Amino acid sequence: PEATYSAFSKAQRLGIIIIVCLIGLASPFASVTYTPAIPTIARDVGVTVSQINLTVTTYLVAQAIAPTIWASIGDIHGRRPLYIATLAVFIGSCVGMSVTDSYAALMVLRAMQAAGSAPNVALGSGVIGDVVHVSRRGGFMGFYMGLGGMGTAFGPILGGLFAEYTGWHGIFVFLTAFFALCWIGYALLVPETLRGIVGDGRVPPPWYGRPPVKLLTPPAAPNAEELRAALPPKKKVDLLGPVKMLKEVDVVCCLLFAGLHFVTWQVSMVAIATILADRYGLSELDIGLAFISNGAGSFVASLVMGKVMNRDYKVQLCKEAAAKAERGEEAPQEVEMIERARIRSLIAPTAGLNASVIAFGWTLQYRVHLAAPIIFHFFIGGLNMALLSTTSTLMVDLFITRASSVTASINLVRCCFAAVGTAVVQPMIDAMDVGWTFTTLSFICMLSCPLMLAEYVYGHRWRRKR
């Protein structure tokens, strides 16, 4: 099945995924380059840190809503036109952020940034589902998440550098230039990949799906029109499709689990900038450097989990083949209980993440040597990415024809949760200090763990009922 799944060559697949990954950096870059500069922005704009944190909340709310609308369109009408349109919106908002000093404008432009960048994360997952077979999808999803982790690692450094040496406006001048180049590269090189339009890649898409440079485009099949006729009929766009997916029990289990743990990561990223400035007296550049550990953890874990997921897939396939052989049945070509293949390695990362969150909070509260919270922040970033990449890959596996929509569902839940967390973290720290704040968040996360156990045991039954 892998050999016939996609007509794109290995080099073409890799080229497409690299460009998609670079565009996928828009969302983490826009988020984390901003956080080290929060104290400076608050001072320059003349508002409090809590008010600037509301711009982060606004970003997260828009980040949750925008993919819900765009992803459904991308699953029906194609990835390419949406990439071109949404990235243009993002670039325009960066231009505005580079010149404004108005708090009201900050709120609006941050929402536009999220609306232009967040859909690309869902579209990227869809592209990987389009061109990569399920047996290797975990590795490519890990690679995709890994480059996002690099954005998380180096974004705060860039934010700190620009905030200290050029002013915080320089952050958005850089984002404008970098992603304008990405936009040009995508528009020139990347073809449409949606399987409902191009099949395995050999059916020529409409004119808007064809790039001027054919380097990453496979040759059309001689019987392209026959293949086009065999494609499933195009469905109507359902803008509420990602929301409707939340009625599925297995989706709810995965998204509540991943969303609650994502909150701990988001809150740690927002809170640490102010805590390191107030309690450790660090400059914007030093704060940016402190974020390296979290991003490095994200990058390392995503690559490791990609390999782990590919291994787990093979292990589960062997188990199912052995079980069928005992019953005298033909060996399966693909894993039937994909839930078990993906979830089997989540116990250790889940336990480690919650322990790291608690330790992170208490080391900051007692002002332990700076190395301690930075080390725990490394594990928070890495282990959260392990959970996120695994659940994201599982959701794409379960809804391969609606990969962008289900990724938008993931984004919707985790960003709504994170928006609430960002809004309440400072009042929580003011009321109960840092240690008990992160202990409380960890306890809430642990309450969601039985949901993944239920998905492991019963998920294949729930899927078959669909």
Residue 2 has pLDDT above 70, yes or no: no
Instruction: Using a pLDDT cut of 70, give the percent of the chain over it.
Output: 99
Distance CA 206, CA 196 (A): 12
Helix, strand, or coil (residue 193): coil
**Can you give the length of the chain in residues?**
466
**Which pLDDT band holds residue 357 (cuts at 50, 70, 90)?**
very high
Distance CA 414, CA 256 (A): 8
Which structure tokens are listed for 2?
């892998």
The closest of 305, 301, 288 to 374, measured between CA atoms, is: 288
Spans of all domains in the chain: 2-465
Residue 350 has pLDDT above 90, yes or no: yes
Distance CA 274, CA 50 (A): 10
Assigned CATH topology for domain 2-465 = Growth Hormone; Chain: A; (1.20.1250)
Q: What is the pLDDT of residues 51-91, one digit of tens each?
A: 888 888 788 778 878 887 777 788 888 899 999 999 999 99
Distance CA 221, CA 228 (A): 10
Residues 6+ apart with CB under 8 A from 88: 116, 183
Distance CA 64, CA 243 (A): 11
Q: What is the pLDDT of residues 116-151, one digit of tens each?
A: 998 888 788 889 989 988 888 887 887 787 777 677
**Which pLDDT band holds residue 190 (cuts at 50, 70, 90)?**
very high
In Å, how far from its chain's centre is CA 435?
28
Distance CA 379, CA 356 (A): 6
Q: Which range, of 204-218, 273-287, 353-367, 446-460, averages the lowest pLDDT?
A: 273-287
Which structure tokens are listed for 19?
């460009």
Distance CA 346, CA 348 (A): 6
Average pLDDT of the chain? 87
Residue 261 has pLDDT above 90, yes or no: yes
Helix, strand, or coil (residue 329): coil
- Which burial class, exposed, middle or buried, applies to 236 when counting CB atoms under 10 A from its CB (0-12, 13-18, 19+)? exposed
Q: What is the pLDDT of residues 325-346, one digit of tens each?
A: 888 888 787 888 899 999 988 9
Total-model pTM: 0.75
End-to-end CA, the chain: 23
Residue with the larger pLDDT of the pair 285 and 300: 300
Residue 439 has pLDDT above 80, yes or no: yes
pLDDT score for 164: 79
Residue 33 has pLDDT above 90, yes or no: no
pLDDT score for 215: 94
**Which pLDDT band holds residue 383 (cuts at 50, 70, 90)?**
very high
Distance CA 74, CA 260 (A): 27
